[in-house]
Amino acid sequence: MESPCLDRPLRVLIVEDVDDDALLLVRNLRKGGFKPDYLRVDTPDGLRNALRDNQWDLVLSDFNMPSFDGFNALKIVSELRSDLPFIIVSGVIGEEAAVNVMKAGANDYVMKRNLPLLPTAVERSLREAEEGRQLQSAQERLRHSEEKFRSLFEGAADAIFYHHRNGSILEVNQVACLSLGMTRDELLRCRIQDFVREALDPEQTSQLECRGKLVFQTVLVGKDDREIPVEVNSRLLDYSGEQAVLSIARDISERKKTAIALGAALQKAEEARDKINAILSSIADGLIVTDPAGRVVMMNRAAEAMFSMEAESALGCLIEDVFRQGPLHKAIVEAYADSFVPRTIEWDQKPESGGSPQIIEARIATVNNLQGEKTGAIAILRDISRERELDRMKSEFVTVTAHELSTPLASIMGFAELLLDEKKLNPEVEQEALQYIYEKAEKLERIVDDLLSLNRIEFGLPIRLSVAPVDLKAVIEKICRYFANRSPHHSFEVNISRDDFVLNCDQDRMEQVLENLLSNAVKYSPGGGVVRLSVSMANGQLVLQIEDEGVGMSKEHLARVFDKFYRVDSSDTTASGLGLGLSIARDIIGAHGGNLELKSEPNRGTIVEVALPMERVCPQTIKVH
């Protein structure tokens, strides 16, 4: 009955010409607690191929076979896998042959009539083979260790002394002999104290004994009385059951001479490195450097922000793996292939962290060393989205300004020509023409005022304020009457919580703000409706609010309404203007110490809120007549 313990895998190569005999071997192995994975071969070539193509734990070989015998099988195994256990299993083998095959290297032999003994023989052979491998490995490690030690000992650049704790020398290397001008035999007859100027003091001796190591400086005195300043690194080691000392003495005479110069040079190099790193990290342009293999070796903070990634995650990675978006990696590869042609490329990309699309410009060239060899590539990157937007806005500004100026100018010239050509005009027609000329001239004046205000702001000049007490209610009512006459489709509701709001402000500038805000409310309410204007006190501020029932605007438009030259385009309106009103209005309110905010939703109108600090409100005793 077979043993149920079949949980010990065994990869066994069976050299046997009879398949039934091989199966019998397998059966006995299973009975012995093995789970054999086997292959049967019966020719020399089959044995060689099996040894080359697979890993085996054991070889079981018949002794007598038609093609070859156990000696030949053992020879082949010894040539290809000398560490593999080899057991002869034979029905007929003489005692002399068995002895010879064991001498030739077989681990054991089992007679086929005693196959129940096979598992035991296998177990023993596997154990002996493992012990042999471990012993061989240990011996090999020991040999390598000894060779390494001897190589390090003799090849060291420092003098090495191996000595007893009493100072008698056990071994020295060649550097020690040359340093002291003595032969090895001479040194082996000496004590350390014979050529060391100062022996260890009690504290140093205690430190060596407690910690097992000690680093100190001393002076060696050579055979010719030449003094050599050295730094000694001593360690306690075991020597035949006793403690010995391994002392490595490094000549520091040159080190002492160059220490100051080296320190100064190091400090200078570190300062230069820090300066370069600071410059590269702080420049506004993105900077990416790759090595000849196309791996990222440097990436500054601007590039990190541009691509929404940390340099740490990119360093050491291939450029094509890091920058999958856009043609950057391809351009770097092409630039590296043709180092004489720096190139500039542009591409659009959407930041992974969200936000508006970017237009990236990259200037790429190779990096060459002093020998002219290519050592990598460098890419200098700039986000030119704003520049392109400014170019577009400037072009649009020129077009819009020309239109805004030419339209009222054409009307003025037309009505002026009418007045000049006609000798006699109906007084009402003449008055209407003059009124129209005046209104268009006012429009031209407002455009010029906006442009002059913009010019001062662009040059960083403060807005000049002529501050005086101003009756806010009177100013609001005057401007509302003006817009009511010009826009009969709109009605204006004014709600001022008190009649005595008097502000210390620049009246002309405040009127400019109100005109711009009411002009927008009218322009972006093409269907008419109510424009509500209110003034109240809230949270310690004077709050002026203008609300229309116009087309409103999206979040995207709302985020840009204060950009210079920006105009909200809508399919529901063709509002004119330079796109400067809100920007200038906010700057004027800011110059008064206040702030201006907008709230809007598409098709739900817009609310403009102006908040001014309380110090702008005059005391109640102040009246303006």
Percent of the chain with pLDDT over 70: 89
Lowest mean pLDDT of 315-329, 408-422, 493-507, name the range.
Answer: 408-422
Mean pLDDT of 245-251: 88
**Residue 459, pLDDT above cutoff 70:** no
Q: Encode pLDDT of 91-102 as tens digits.
A: 877 778 878 888
CA distance 373 to 362: 23
Instruction: Determine the average pLDDT of the residues in 475-485.
Output: 88
Q: Cα torsion for 184, 189, 191, 192, to the nearest 10°?
A: 0
- How far is CA 124 from each of CA 26, 109, 116, 129, rounded to the nearest angstrom? 17, 12, 14, 8
CB atoms within 10 A of CB 577: 17
Give the type of residue at 289: V
Query: Of the segments 6-20, 141-155, 410-424, 565-579, which one has the largest average pLDDT value?
Result: 6-20
pLDDT at residue 574 is higher than 60: no
Separation of alpha carbons 74 and 430, rounded Å: 130
User: What pLDDT score does 621 carry?
Assistant: 29
Q: Is the pLDDT of residue 509 over 80?
A: yes
Per-residue confidence band for 569, with pLDDT thresholds at 50, 70 and 90: low
How far apart are alpha carbons 173 and 179 in whole angstroms? Answer: 10
Average pLDDT over residues 391-395: 74
Which pairs count as long-range contacts for 324-328, CB under 8 Å and 24+ apart, including other chains? 325/349, 326/360, 328/288, 328/362, 328/379, 328/381
Over residues 355-363, the mean pLDDT reads 80
pLDDT over 90 (residue 58): yes
CA 216 to chain centre: 44
Confidence at 527, pLDDT banded by 50, 70, 90: confident
Per-residue pLDDT averaged across 175-201, rounded?
87
What is the average pLDDT score of the chain?
82
pLDDT of residue 368: 81
Here the tokens at position 333 are 């590869």
Specify the pLDDT at position 534. 92
Percent of the chain with pLDDT over 90: 17
> What residue ranges define each of the domains in the chain, with the CATH number in brackets?
8-135 (3.40.50.2300), 156-251 (3.30.450.20), 283-383 (3.30.450.20), 388-457 (1.10.287.130), 462-616 (3.30.565.10)
Name the pLDDT band for 548 (thresholds 50, 70, 90).
Answer: very high
Q: pLDDT band at residue 286, thresholds of 50, 70 and 90?
A: confident
Q: How many Cβ atoms from other residues are within 10 Å of residue 44's Cβ?
A: 15
pLDDT tens readout for residues 191-238: 988 888 887 888 888 888 888 888 888 899 988 888 889 888 989 888
Instruction: Copy the structure tokens of residue 210.
Output: 């407690």
Distance CA 135, CA 368 (A): 55
pLDDT tops 70 at residue 582: yes
Q: Which residues pair with 34 in a beta bridge?
A: 8
**What is the pLDDT averaged over residues 316-344?**
76
Residue listed under structure tokens 């149920």: 4
DSSP letters for 234-285: EEEEEETTEEEEEEEEEE-HHHHHHHHHHHHHHHHHHHHHHHHHHHHHHSSS
Residue 609 confidence (pLDDT) above 70: yes
| 457 or 346, which is more confident | 346
Residue 5: per-residue pLDDT: 46
- Whether the pLDDT of residue 28 is over 60: the answer is yes
At residue 37 the predicted structure's pLDDT band, cuts being 50, 70 and 90, is very high
Is the pLDDT confidence value at 419 over 80?
no
Q: What is the pLDDT of residue 139?
A: 82
Q: Phi/psi of residue 102, each to 5°?
A: -70, -40
When pLDDT is averaged across residues 353-371 and rounded to a whole number, the result is: 79
Which tops the pLDDT comparison, 603 or 563? 603
